[in-house]
Structure 1
């Protein structure tokens, strides 16, 4: 990955092209993490709509232990998004180039720890499942906040409900029959670039899910290590830039 391209992926001044590429990569990671999480603990950890619905069901059925687990998952996702916002705003205040890269580097570290220690922690009865769910929900919240902030809420990567809705809207525009005598203000025109982006987000999420499921079946928790590696590649260049800048400032002082 060329250095300048890697630097631009998480830059606040990144182009719409690099933002799309970052979104595709993060959608792949989210799909892989979701598929692996389901095989490990039978829960999709980025699907907050489903988890909140299950929380309501558990409360009505009197399954308060399960309701507490669902609440923990939602709060973990929320805390992940909050942590990402804090890191980004801290980096912005200090004019860091890595303001959007830092949360991704943290996510990489968490994937690394989970991949190396997952099989050991799996033997801790009663703790592994809730801890895994909360960790992965935290990571998905962390990641989704990054792409939401950097894209101005145009791109989301950890869940597809909104993406598929937007895709349906654009497809409806695409096949809409415009009358010949309709003025320019009444013509319905699909945004083909957005249509392509939405389709690719779904495709990357799907491919990530397939490869994540295969990887977990073949290698277990170690399958998260390549995801950590991808996140490091996305984030390491601006972090190194900031470290070099800090070292130069210290030397000048």
Structure 2
């Protein structure tokens, strides 16, 4: 998963694991929404929420909404510090990032279980949900940065706006190259397949998550945490195999 790029003709296992991360992100996103009525896999909405809170003179809510995106950014920065190091093989750089994702999700599951956060399903209030939102946004930032770095900025799994735009452009590029039998037609087809698969996987994560969180509430975050641990383990195994081969 973290040893391949789109130009490498990824294996079925790599495709599966890339799509698994999109599934994980969709799952976490719906978990954040069902827990406190906030989407956490992207930061766009928090700027809107800050503006609404300011108009209503809810200054604590405004400051909290402005602060939360920095935890997504912090996750990205931390992931970059770990993954851009040249001291370790590629897979070994990404395993710690995914373990941090798992740790944050386990923190959310535990904190919700012991009642540290607000009642599951109530609308977010910064006085009791700030850490919840920060942890979930941080986890999404870590994961998105890891797969973006590993894939050469061709795979992003935590939000769909950009990838949907890329899909529309990619379909047109693929069709034109297909008509001309261009040499890079296969690469464009792989890109289109990646974007479609990412969108479907993110959506599937949301569908499955809706049922999981409705039944398990905060304990539902155990599912994406286990997926993150699997990704970390897979990255380590791949790196060892690559080292033995060469």
TM-score range, shorter chain: 0.7 to 0.9
Say if 2:34 is the partner of 1:34. no
TM-score by length of 1: 0.78
Select 2:113's aligned residue among 119, 132, 152: 119
Cα distance, 1:226–1:190 mapped onto 2, change above 3 Å = closer
Aligned length: 229
Which residue in 1 is equivalent to 2:10? 17
Counterpart CA distance in 1 for 2:187 and 2:90 is 38
- How big is the alpha-carbon RMSD for the aligned residues of Structure 1 and Structure 2? 3.3
Per-residue CA deviations over 1:8-60 (Å, capped at 9, x if unaligned) read x2336894525543321111000000001001010001221222333344445
- 1:207-226 matched pairs, under 5 angstroms: 207-226=204-223
2:99 pairs with one of 105, 109, 120? 105
Question: Which stretches in structure 2 are left out of the alignment for 5+ residues?
Answer: 120-124, 241-246
Offset from partner CA, 1:123-153 (integer Å, 9 cap, x none) = 5986431111111001010011001100111
Asked if structure 1 preserves the Cα contact closer than 8 Å seen for 2:5 and 2:152, the reply is no
Query: Structure 2 length as normaliser, TM-score?
Result: 0.80
Could you say if the C-alpha distance between residues 223 and 16 of structure 1 is closer, same or farther in structure 2, counting changes exceeding 3 Å?
farther
Counterpart of 1:47 in 2: which secondary structure?
coil
- Cα deviation code 1:159-213 (max 9, x no counterpart): 000111011112334666x9x9xx889xx99922221211110000000001111
Alpha-carbon distance between aligned partners in 1 of 2:151 and 2:187, rounded to the nearest angstrom: 20
Structure with the greater alpha carbon radius of gyration: 1
In the TM superposition, 1:138-217 aligns within 5 A as 138-173=138-173, 191-217=188-214
* Contact 1:23/1:156 (8 A) holds in 2: no
